[in-house]
């Protein structure tokens, strides 16, 4: 479609995907996405950093042809996932003399996922550098910032960091750079929630390393380029910290209205006690928004009716996802209802094995909520407010 | 002998059970596993495990 110059000799040559609405067949993409690939011309050698999703591989190739790139010496692969490495076979076909440059784990994944010839790969270790003549690339191995093979590449002279998925976000925009930091903060937090949150503790260890590089720009693999790295590094530092906020996230489903009444009452009771609350009716929830809210909430309360003898399957699905994303939530509970019996609360609590939560007494009632049920909800709200006070957030 | 949990994927190494996926018999202490031992579920390095 188009290539754009960041600084003299460094180009964005990726693809914008305005129409994509779902990632991993799971997460909605309200703003589309982009697959950013970058070309760096040194005085001696030319390097390409990451590729694009294979459905856009022609755009990448056309961008390179339009720039008059006759030879690529190195193709740096920071991450083996197909939306970044997937066009590697095509690029290698076009530029057969190019060497793939990546770490050992990534090489093995490229062989497994894309059937790349391992002989075409030059393996680098943490801290290694690669000269392009008047420009130098430095590689930082940062395993488990999403996948086991994830690495960052730093263009030393221009101080541009290419961190692949880390610090990026899903957005297709004609802007090359972030122009709206408030919007970028929100989109990046959502991306962090969906992709990076399970690796919070690994990322914690890399932030200072990135700060020490003092990057002038962060050029990620999704979304616009960031000319104010401090803004994103500060945001990440907050998200990966152990600090939680005075917020209850309340995902729920109600079939015949009983659970809805409990939810409505709990929402009011929490607000009365000064606790912020974000209810999500799962039948109409964008799960990316649910993930977003889990980044720094202190408490999650799951609301479910009983289907046959257990929780509603849509609640099970959301609980499974929330548990897999490993948010830093401290407290959890379940509210819900049943007609004749079942083990909805026990089933959901057992699913929360990846999060370190203190479980507050669930409130699961028979039939339509009566006065006793409302009092039980008030007690749960009291307990949540008490816990939030104990950890100093209320 | 202590159990160790993988901080990446949550898999628990239980020395009393061993690792059937790796043909590792019960009875081996986590600290006696080789340094290049990896999580049988996500292949994280041994140093990503912490004592339960």
Residues A207 and A259 in one domain: no
E strand or H helix that includes residue A332:
strand A331-338
Classify residue A179 as exposed, middle or buried by CB count within 10 Å of its CB (0-12, 13-18, 19+): exposed
Q: Do A354 and B10 touch (CB under 8 A)?
A: yes
Is A258 a domain residue? yes
Shortest Cα–Cα distance, B40 to chain A (Å): 14
Number of domains in chain A: 2
Q: B22: pLDDT confidence band, cut at 50, 70 and 90? A: confident
Number of domains in chain B: 1
Q: Do B7 and A201 touch (CB under 8 A)?
A: yes
Residues A87 and A234 in one domain: yes
* A148, A201, A202: residue with CB nearest B43: A148
Chain A residues with CB under 8 Å of B8 CB are: 144, 199, 202
pLDDT tens digit sequence for A70-95: 999 999 999 999 999 999 999 999 99
Chain B residues with CB under 8 Å of A148 CB are: 42-44
Across A269-285, average pLDDT:
98
* Predicted local confidence at residue B41, as pLDDT: 87
Chain B residues with CB under 8 Å of A354 CB are: 10
Q: Do A148 and B42 touch (CB under 8 A)?
A: yes
Is A394 a domain residue? no
Q: Do B44 and A148 touch (CB under 8 A)?
A: yes
Residue A112 CA to residue B5 CA, distance in Å, equals 27
Is A393 a domain residue? no
**Is the predicted pLDDT of residue A192 greater than 90, yes or no?**
yes
Residue of A nearest to B6 (CA): A354
Residues A200 and A63 in one domain: yes
Residue-number span of the structural domain to which A355 is assigned: 248-388
Residues A173 and A25 in one domain: yes
Task: Quote the tokens at residue A246.
Answer: 């005075």
Q: A265: pLDDT confidence band, cut at 50, 70 and 90? A: very high
Residue of B nearest to A353 (CA): B10
pLDDT tens digit sequence for A296-338: 999 999 999 999 989 999 999 999 999 999 999 999 999 999 9
Residues A228 and A301 in one domain: no
Residues A112 and A200 in one domain: yes
Residues A257 and A224 in one domain: no
For testing contact with chain A, the best of B3, B5, B6, B7 (most A CBs within 10 A): B7
CATH code for the domain of A230? 3.60.15.10
Q: A200: pLDDT confidence band, cut at 50, 70 and 90? A: very high
E strand or H helix that includes residue A265:
helix A258-272
Residue A12 CA to residue A162 CA, distance in Å, equals 11
Residue A104 CA to residue A32 CA, distance in Å, equals 32
Residues A81 and A215 in one domain: yes
> Which strands, in side-by-side order, build the sheet including A99-102?
A4-7, A10-12, A38-41, A46-49, A74-76, A99-102, A121-123
| Contact (Cβ atoms closer than 8 angstroms) between residue A49 and residue A76 | yes
Residues A231 and A276 in one domain: no
Shortest Cα–Cα distance, B8 to chain A (Å): 7
CATH code for the domain of A346? 3.40.50.360
Across A351-365, average pLDDT:
95
* 3-class secondary structure, A45: coil
Alpha-carbon distance values, A252 to A281, A300, A302 (Å) = 5, 11, 6
Is A277 a domain residue? yes
Is A290 a domain residue? yes
Residues A301 and A205 in one domain: no
Residue at which a domain ends, from A183, A208, A240: A240
Q: Do B8 and A202 touch (CB under 8 A)?
A: yes
| Contact (Cβ atoms closer than 8 angstroms) between residue A145 and residue A202 | yes
| Contact (Cβ atoms closer than 8 angstroms) between residue A199 and residue A12 | no
Q: A43: pLDDT confidence band, cut at 50, 70 and 90? A: very high
Residue at which a domain ends, from A179, A208, A240: A240
Residue-number span of the structural domain to which B31 is assigned: 4-51
Alpha-carbon distance values, A157 to A10, A44, A207 (Å) = 12, 15, 21
Report how many Cβ contacts below 8 Å link chain A to chain B: 12
| Contact (Cβ atoms closer than 8 angstroms) between residue A251 and residue A290 | yes
Residue A203 CA to residue A166 CA, distance in Å, equals 9
CATH code for the domain of B15? 2.20.28.10
Distant-in-sequence, close-in-space partners of A70: CB < 8 Å, separation ≥ 6: none
Residues A210 and A267 in one domain: no
Q: A1: pLDDT confidence band, cut at 50, 70 and 90? A: confident
Classify residue A373 as exposed, middle or buried by CB count within 10 Å of its CB (0-12, 13-18, 19+): buried
Q: Do A353 and B10 touch (CB under 8 A)?
A: yes
Residues A202 and A271 in one domain: no
* DSSP letter (8 states) at residue A98: P
β strands within chain B, DSSP E: 4-6, 12-13, 49-51
* Predicted local confidence at residue B6, as pLDDT: 92
0.90 surpassed by pTM: yes
Q: Do A144 and B8 touch (CB under 8 A)?
A: yes
* Predicted local confidence at residue A384, as pLDDT: 98
Across A123-149, average pLDDT:
97
Q: Which residue bears the tokens 């006793």?
A: A372
Residue at which a domain ends, from A213, A240, A267: A240
Residue A181 CA to residue A168 CA, distance in Å, equals 13
């Amino acid at each position: 479609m188009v290539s754009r110059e960041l600084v003299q000799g460094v180009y964005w040559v990726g693809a914008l995907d305005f129409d994509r609405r779902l990632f991993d067949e799971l997460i909605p993409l309200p703003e589309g996405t982009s697959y950013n690939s970058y070309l760096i011309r040194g005085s001696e050698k030319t390097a390409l950093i990451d590729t694009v999703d294979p459905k856009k591989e022609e755009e990448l190739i056309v961008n390179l042809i339009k720039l008059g790139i006759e030879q690529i010496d190195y193709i740096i692969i920071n991450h083996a996932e197909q939306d970044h490495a997937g066009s590697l076979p095509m690029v290698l076909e076009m530029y057969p003399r190019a060497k793939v440059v990546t770490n050992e784990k990534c090489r093995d994944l490229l062989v497994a996922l894309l059937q790349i010839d391992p002989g075409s790969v030059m393996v680098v270790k943490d801290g290694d550098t690669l000269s392009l003549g008047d420009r130098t690339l430095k590689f930082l191995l940062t395993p488990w910032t999403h996948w086991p093979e994830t690495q960052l590449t730093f263009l030393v002279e221009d101080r541009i960091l290419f961190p692949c998925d880390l610090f990026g976000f899903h957005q297709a925009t004609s802007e090359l750079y972030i122009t709206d930091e408030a919007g970028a903060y929100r989109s990046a937090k959502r991306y962090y929630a969906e992709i990076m949150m399970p690796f919070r503790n690994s990322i914690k260890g890399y932030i200072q390393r990135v700060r020490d590089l003092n990057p002038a720009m962060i050029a990620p693999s999704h979304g616009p380029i960031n000319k104010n790295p401090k803004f994103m590094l500060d945001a990440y530092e907050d998200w990966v910290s152990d600090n939680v906020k005075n917020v209850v996230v309340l995902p729920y489903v109600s079939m015949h209205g009983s659970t809805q009444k409990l939810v409505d009452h709990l929402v009011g009771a929490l607000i009365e006690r000064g606790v912020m609350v974000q209810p999500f009716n799962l039948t109409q929830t964008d799960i990316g928004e649910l993930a977003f809210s889990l980044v720094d909430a202190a408490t999650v309360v799951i609301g479910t009716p009983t289907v046959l003898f257990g929780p509603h399957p849509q609640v099970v699905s959301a609980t499974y996802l929330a548990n897999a994303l490993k948010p830093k939530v401290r407290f959890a509970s379940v509210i819900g209802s049943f007609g004749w019996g079942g083990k909805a609360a026990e089933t959901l609590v057992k699913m929360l094995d990846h999060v370190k939560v203190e479980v507050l007494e669930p409130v699961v009632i028979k039939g339509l909520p009566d006065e006793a049920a409302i009092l039980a909800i008030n007690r749960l709200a009291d307990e949540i407010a008490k816990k939030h006070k104990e950890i100093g957030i209320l | 002998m202590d159990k160790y949990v993988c901080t990446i994927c949550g898999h628990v190494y239980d020395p009393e059970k061993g690792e059937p996926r790796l043909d590792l018999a019960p009875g081996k202490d986590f600290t006696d596993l080789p340094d290049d031992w990896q999580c049988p579920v996500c292949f994280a390095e041994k140093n990503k495990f912490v004592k339960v």
